[in-house]
């Protein structure tokens, strides 16, 4: 195989964002895209432009503002899809890629599409040719490729490559594959299509984790001829998720003896920062034992392990934590630090903020600085990300007071201001609940005339110390079946909870939903 460079195709902003409750607004997507560029992924799949005006705008904005990686838009083999992707990607110029897909497996042909093999090939070829009229870089995916008959898959690959596809991606769409079998399929395709051998086109893989084998299948494919891996930060994605970018990258980098001559262009020192940003932007918490990026990934509690680490790190660590971005804590700021110092630190952390945004963050920084001795980089990141995740405010928190105790009924008094109405008087209401958080959320429901059912609640300390900033992420259902994510931060966990829930309420109302006619009873 002539080229042993493995391209990293990141689909966090497309497939990863399809996770229920993980949707991101434009600003959140743009910050993730900027971090992916710093991570030096080769391709960013920015979205599915035809799906909504929001997705179209996201792809177009990322194509215009992000420099370095190839910017990709997804499209079915349908004219309107391809046209939307082509138009959204125009600002990327020669760095634009259209990724078209069409199901090819027998079960999809018979029960979803109702089409014969020759019709599938015709539609695939037409889709590639239409995409080729917009960009030179066209990728084709035979959806459910791992369950497609191998010989028919060869026919499809030959046809789309002849039509102009430069990448053929073989998805394990439902996570059905196992490493030996999937690797054998990729090897069969590589050996059967001359263009894969002479470098005119490459094989890509896109594996799902339904059996927990996404990374193993991807690496098996790489060993058998694949030269692009589609993956997501933290492995987020539909159902059980996708192959994890950090695991793919570090497996290839850590085991050069096994992946002989293969290399990646990822700046692995940006992995932890990318993981944390995606976790906060998506609202999906990283499990503590997650490989590479989990909090326990480099923790050693066993006395034998600790003794070995002290004598020689390599006895129990196959990677240096610093290689992936751990142990890179900067000196903290204090409440006496000025706006200039804050602005410099924000730029160092990679955030692109205008003067008005810095001023808003500075106000929150001073507020936090009055409550705790040091403001760490993680605190600043949480403040910035809290501002990024803000939506147009319908309601803002003006006042919160709670009473609670083992011998008293938890009660919350909340005062909200209707931001959208000029000179509106604040509205105050109170409610009781099972606890102070429940009481505060019910009071917010009474004022905003909404009724959200809390489906998930997560609280984490952003930084170290007893005065650590608390970050709350919630997911709520307001009656339409869709999960709405809300985020809030404060040194007071009750306040952080109220801010997170109010953030979700504002997202819900900002999407055009009217409040309920009747207020819920306490």
Copy the structure tokens of residue 72.
């990709």
pLDDT confidence tier of residue 249, bands split at 50, 70 and 90: very high
* 42 in the same domain as 180: yes
> Is residue 76 located within the same domain as residue 210?
yes
Percent with pLDDT over 70 in the chain: 92
Note the pLDDT of residue 468: 79
Q: Which of 325, 360, 388 is the last residue of a domain?
A: 388
156, 37: one domain: yes
Does residue 291 belong to any structural domain of this protein? Answer: no
Q: Considering only CA atoms, which of 495, 500, 502, 410 is closest in space to residue 447? A: 502
Q: For the full predicted model, state whether its pTM sits above 0.85.
A: no
Task: Kindly state the helix (H) or strand (E) to which residue 57 belongs, with its residue range.
Answer: helix 53-65
Alpha-carbon gap, residue 316 to 298, rounded angstroms: 9
Q: Widest CA span of the chain, in angstroms?
A: 77
Cα(215)–Cα(246) distance, integer angstroms = 10
Q: Mean pLDDT for the chain?
A: 89
Whether 327 shows a pLDDT value over 70: the answer reads no
Pull the structure tokens for residue 359. 């001023």
Give the containing element (helix H, strand E) for 486.
strand 483-490
* Closest by CA position to 446, among listed 425, 472, 415: 415
Same domain, 256 and 138: yes
Higher pLDDT: 449 or 2? It is 449
**pLDDT in the model for residue 314:** 64
Q: How would you label 424-451 residue by residue, b for 16+ Cβ within 10 Å and e otherwise?
A: eeeeebbbebeebbbbbbbbbbbbbebb
Residues 346 and 267 in one domain: no
CATH of the domain at 429: 3.30.160.270
Same domain, 224 and 126: yes
Q: Residue 267: its pLDDT value, please?
A: 97
Assign 3-class secondary structure to 207-224. EECCCCCHHHHHHHHHHC
Query: Cα separation of 122 and 125, whole Å?
Result: 5
Q: Say if residue 255 is in the same domain as residue 361.
A: no
- The reply to whether 316 falls in a domain is no
**Residue 515: predicted pLDDT:** 56
Q: Does 239 share its domain with 361?
A: no
In a domain, 302, yes or no: no
Shared-domain flag, residues 225 and 374: no
Least confident of 29-33, 109-113, 419-423, 502-506: 419-423
Whether the CA torsion 305, 310, 312, 318 is positive or negative: it is positive
Q: Are residues 69 and 211 in the same domain?
A: yes
Please report which confidence band the pLDDT of residue 331 belongs to, taking 50, 70 and 90 as the band edges: low
User: Can you give the pLDDT at residue 382?
Assistant: 78
- Among the candidates 262, 282, 302, a domain finishes at 282
Host domain of residue 449:
395-510
The whole-angstrom separation of Cα 172 and Cα 182 is 9
Residue 246 lies in a domain: yes
Stated as kind and residue range, the H or E segment containing 282 is helix 271-282
For residues 270 and 371, state if they share a domain: no
Specify if 345 maps to a domain.
Answer: yes
- CA 128, CA 339: separation in Å to the nearest integer? 52
* Residue 167 included in any domain: yes
- 131/36 same-domain check: yes
Answer whether residue 45 is part of any domain: yes
Instruction: Domain count for the chain, please give it.
Output: 3
Q: Rounded CA gap, 134 and 164, in Å?
A: 12
Edge to edge, the sheet with strand 453-461 lists 453-461, 470-477, 483-490
Q: Look-up: residue for tokens 């910035």?
A: 384
What is the CATH classification number for the domain harbouring 43? 3.20.20.70
**Highest mean pLDDT (candidates 126-135, 345-354, 486-495):** 126-135
Q: Does 121 map to a domain?
A: yes
- Does the structure show a pLDDT above 70 at 310? no
User: What's the pLDDT band for 309 if we cut at 50, 70, 90?
Assistant: very low
């Amino acid at each position: 195989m002539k080229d042993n460079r493995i391209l990293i195709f990141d689909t966090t902003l497309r497939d990863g964002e399809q996770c229920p409750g993980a949707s991101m607004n434009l600003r959140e997507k743009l910050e993730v895209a900027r971090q992916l560029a710093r991570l030096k992924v080769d391709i960013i799949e920015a979205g599915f432009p035809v799906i909504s005006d929001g997705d179209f705008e996201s792809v177009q904005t990322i194509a215009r503002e992000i420099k370095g990686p190839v910017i990709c838009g997804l499209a079915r083999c349908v004219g309107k899809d391809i046209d939307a992707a082509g138009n959204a990607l125009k600002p990327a110029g020669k760095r634009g890629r259209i990724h078209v897909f069409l199901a090819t497996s027998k079960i999809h042909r018979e029960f979803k599409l109702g089409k014969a093999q020759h019709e599938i090939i015709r539609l695939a070829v037409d889709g590639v040719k239409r995409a080729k009229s917009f960009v030179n870089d066209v990728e084709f995916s035979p959806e459910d490729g791992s369950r497609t008959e191998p010989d028919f898959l060869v026919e499809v690959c030959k046809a789309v490559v002849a039509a102009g596809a430069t990448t053929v991606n073989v998805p394990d769409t439902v996570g059905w594959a196992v490493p030996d079998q999937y690797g054998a399929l990729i090897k069969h395709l590589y050996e059967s299509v001359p263009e894969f051998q002479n470098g005119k086109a490459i094989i890509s893989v896109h594996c799902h984790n339904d059996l927990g084998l996404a990374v193993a299948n991807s690496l098996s494919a790489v060993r058998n001829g694949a030269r692009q891996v589609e993956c997501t930060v933290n492995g987020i994605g539909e159902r059980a998720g996708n192959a994890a970018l950090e695991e793919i990258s570090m497996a290839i980098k850590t085991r050069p003896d096994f992946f002989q001559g293969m290399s990646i262009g990822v700046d692995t020192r940006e992995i932890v920062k990318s993981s944390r940003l995606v976790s906060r932007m998506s609202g999906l918490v990283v499990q503590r034992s997650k490989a590479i990026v989990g909090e326990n990934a480099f923790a050693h509690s066993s006395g034998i392990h600790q003794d070995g680490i002290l004598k020689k790190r390599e006895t129990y660590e196959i990677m240096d934590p610093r290689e992936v971005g751990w142990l890179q804590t900067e000196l903290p700021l204090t409440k006496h630090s000025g706006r200039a110092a804050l602005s410099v630190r924000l730029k160092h952390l990679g955030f692109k903020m205008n003067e008005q945004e810095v001023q808003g963050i500075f106000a929150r920084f001073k507020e936090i600085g009055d409550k705790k001795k040091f403001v760490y980089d993680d605190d600043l990141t949480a403040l910035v990300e809290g501002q990024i995740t803000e939506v147009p405010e319908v309601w803002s928190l003006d006042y919160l007071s709670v009473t609670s105790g083992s011998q008293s009924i938890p009660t919350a008094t909340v005062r909200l201001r209707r931001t959208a109405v000029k000179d509106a008087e604040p509205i105050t209401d109170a409610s009781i609940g099972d606890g102070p958080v429940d009481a505060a959320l019910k009071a917010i429901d009474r004022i905003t005339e909404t009724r959200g059912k809390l489906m998930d609640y997560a609280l984490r300390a952003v930084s170290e110390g007893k005065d650590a900033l608390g970050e709350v992420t919630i997911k709520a259902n307001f009656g339409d079946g869709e999960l709405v994510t809300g985020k809030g931060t404060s040194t007071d966990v009750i306040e952080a909870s109220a801010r997170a829930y109010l953030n979700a309420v504002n997202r819900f109302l900002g999407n055009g939903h009217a409040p309920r006619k009747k207020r819920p009873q306490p």
